[in-house]
A = this chain, B = another copy of it.
């Protein structure tokens, strides 16, 4: 291990490598539950593409695994250290290399924080559309690794839809460029799409060309309170049937409202047992908002007459609905997606499961996408946990996955498989499809040094 450290320091410089225990501990995991804790051998902070290439070559020669990491905000364990690994933190590669306002594109290093890019392009009337709840701290590189979604994807698409081209360091240390600088391009296979969402298992993204969208000049936000969650979920379908495409359509259950009240002193729970937040934007925002209000009221909602600003505050609260809590083995946030028409039934099934397994449940959903984030948890009592409760929690999780798949859903809408969701992947994808992916992995990374044991 001393050799590894000395070797890496010799290659990239002392100030870019650490093996201090506090650093190793801090970088060992992301925000997902930990099932197999491992300390990395070292944490390396490359500052250039050449640094990344040198580290990859060195690790390839030494047979050491590389776990790339952005801000560590992932919730599937994609950035958890594995045995005999180093963490490659790309946080220092945080330069915006170009903003091409007329082309409506930007070129960034992977460590650029999502919100920082948005601030930089806003003066041009542009935005980087994907907005995971972690946008204030998560990096574009991390967003690319997981093909991150967010609140606005129903209208603006996920990360993949905003990525035009990538610079990628492959497992042998070579650098390739994929994709195109233009909005459209179909020359050859879509390597860019293959790499987006591959969680650093096929290559290390060191540069990203993104397409920017127009910052809407008008935004309308509607808060609709419901007496129960199922009626609120039905409201999502009603908006769809009115053929209005909101930018944001977020569904919060009673448990989430209660938690927000606790954290922020709001009075949401007193106003309803479920909240549907809808934001329309663009030139048609006002007209769309009118239609949305009408159909939600017809569905039994109490629609706020308050100014949009108040409803916007609720959207901000929603963005923080994960709060300061970090998932652990006692509290697991999921990320299933189901076909939109199954939202109502699936939510009802979740509620039954919580009762059946005697676990706590709260649900928020990017409802426009059918993407649900149920959180199941059990209470810890003075650091002691009932082992039976732990088992019930796992049963509830497994059941919720089985049910999502049974209604035509997926185990992960936007968080990625990482390490934590691997146990369920075989339920979604048959062996032939998994084997095809393993062979692609072997093709890109024959020695298996790139983020092993993740994603597939």
**Which residues of A approach B to under 8 Å, CB–CB?**
100, 102-105, 125-126, 146-147, 149, 153-154, 157-158, 160-161, 174, 176-178, 180-191, 193-194, 196-198, 202, 213-215, 217, 237, 240-241, 243-245, 282-285, 287-288, 291, 337-342, 366, 368-371, 408-417, 421, 425, 428-430, 432-434, 436-437, 439-440, 443, 455-456
A103 and B340 within 8 A (CB): yes
**Nearest Cβ on chain B to A421's Cβ, whole angstroms:** 8
B182 and A338 within 8 A (CB): yes
| Copies of this chain in the oligomer | 2
B185 and A103 within 8 A (CB): no
Across the two chains, which residue of chain B brings its CB closest to A190?
B193
**Nearest Cβ on chain B to A283's Cβ, whole angstroms:** 3
Complex Cα spacing A181 to B244, Å? 21
Q: A184-B413, A284-B282 are in contact. Are A189 and B455 (CB under 8 A)?
A: yes
6 closest A-B pairs by CB? A283-B284, A284-B284, A193-B193, A102-B341, A182-B337, A185-B410
Complex Cα spacing A157 to B126, Å? 18
A411: chain B residues within 8 A (beta carbon): 187
B417 and A181 within 8 A (CB): no
Across the two chains, which residue of chain B brings its CB closest to A203?
B436
A190 and B154 within 8 A (CB): no
A194: chain B residues within 8 A (beta carbon): 189-190, 193-194
Complex Cα spacing A283 to B281, Å? 10
A371 and B339 within 8 A (CB): no
- Residue of B126, B182, B215, B217 near A371 (CB, 8 A) is B182
Listed by A's residue number, 30 A-B pairs whose Cβ atoms lie within 8 Å are A102-B241, A103-B339, A104-B240, A146-B186, A149-B184, A153-B184, A157-B161, A176-B430, A177-B433, A180-B337, A180-B409, A182-B370, A183-B369, A183-B370, A186-B413, A186-B416, A188-B437, A188-B456, A189-B194, A189-B197, A189-B437, A189-B455, A190-B196, A190-B197, A194-B194, A214-B244, A283-B284, A283-B291, A284-B287, A440-B440
